[in-house]
Copies of this chain bind each other. A is one copy, B any other.
Amino acid sequence: MYPEYFKIAGEWTLAADRRMDSSVVIRENGQPDVVENRNLRRGDKVVLGRTERAEEGIYLHSCGFADPDEAGPEDQFVFRQGRSRETAFARDYDRLTELLSYEREHGNIVWVMGPAFAFDAGARDSMAALIDRGYCHGLFAGNALATHDLEGALLHTALGQDIYTQRPVSGGHYNHLDICNRVRRCGSIPEFIKEYGLDNGIMCSCVKNGVPFVLGGSIRDDGPLPEVIADVYRAQDAMRGILRKATTVICLATMLHTIAAGNMTPSYRVLRDGSVRPVYFYAVDADEFVVNKLLDRGSLSATTMVTNVQDFIRILANRLV
């Protein structure tokens, strides 16, 4: 996902949008084009070299955005080199606050959400507020997140448990199915929101503010809701459509979708004026294993934060007013 240059007709040319899931095709106009492997066509001139240090006309600039001030001392021994729940996250919050304030106007912020994100009334309200305030230009999730959020909007429960009092309501395990059925009868999430006069939650805010969302199907879905894309590779394409404009991606409590988003997000973007800027990628989860797995899968330029995403979003919403 790093900036990669190709020597084409004697010129080193930067490929826009280099990603982990793609190859590079040299087009007739001599430009390098980043194409998902699945979409390569017979006859494409695919760059096949596997060297990265300009030996064969390929140069990978893996530290292009590294801040030289960030380099640590050259000591042989240093405590605390990894990131864990014990990492100091104060500066990460400050930077993210500053970043999102900038990106609201000048960038494109995509949120990726795990199935349980809407279980807490407060976190759900915080996220909805961030969307209402313009901090969300695209959302990616699965059937469960949308269903739980809409159950909250209509019945104030998630899987039958009150999202504020934590109390299970009688027969509440049917709520989930009832929501699926009602939305399906309405034909779409916006129609459901309209018909039932809903006014709160994440999906509501997306619809109200015209924020595009992609719901990818998964093997554990009930329903699904009408908008859910059953074919995972078509869902990838839809996700890519949203991520193509992203300049900041924030993944919350989902290993599956975080890795998916990591695979298809470049670490930089070429702007219209030809200048190059970083794409920021955050992964937030309560478990070190999940955020480390992202790094194990190669998404090295991500900023990982280890905390409950409910609190993460509470804190952000409190700062981004």
Contact = CB atoms under 8 A, between A and B. Distances in A.
Given A230-B232, A286-B306, A168 B88 contact: no
Interface string A220-233: 11111000001111
Contacts of A81: 168, 295-296
A122 B90 contact: yes
B89 A76 contact: no
Interface in A196-237: 216-224, 230-236
Give the oligomeric copy count.
Answer: 4
Contact of A219 (B50, B221, B257): B257
A79 B172 contact: yes
Interface string A101-124: 000000000000000100111110
A153 to B, nearest CB: 15
Nearest to A236: B219
Interface of A: 21, 37-38, 50, 52, 60, 62, 70, 72-82, 84-91, 93, 116, 119-123, 158-174, 177, 180, 216-224, 230-236, 239, 253, 255-257, 259-260, 263, 286-289, 292-293, 295-298, 300, 306-308, 310-312, 314-315, 318
A256 B218 contact: yes
Given A37-B177, A73-B168, A218-B232, A298 B52 contact: no
Contacts of A162: 88
Contacts of A259: 220
Contact of A298 (B167, B173, B220, B287): B173
A136 B238 CA distance: 37
Contacts of A222: 21, 37, 263
A79 B296 contact: yes
B256 A233 contact: no
Nearest to A298: B79
A225 to B, nearest CB: 12
A90 B123 contact: yes
A167 B88 contact: no
Given A286-B307, A310-B89, A173 B77 contact: yes
Nearest to A295: B82
Nearest to A114: B86
A289 B85 CA distance: 9
A235 B256 contact: no
A231 to B, nearest CB: 5
8 contacts: A73-B170, A86-B116, A88-B310, A91-B166, A93-B122, A222-B263, A287-B287, A288-B292
Given A91-B166, A159-B79, A220-B260, A86 B296 contact: yes
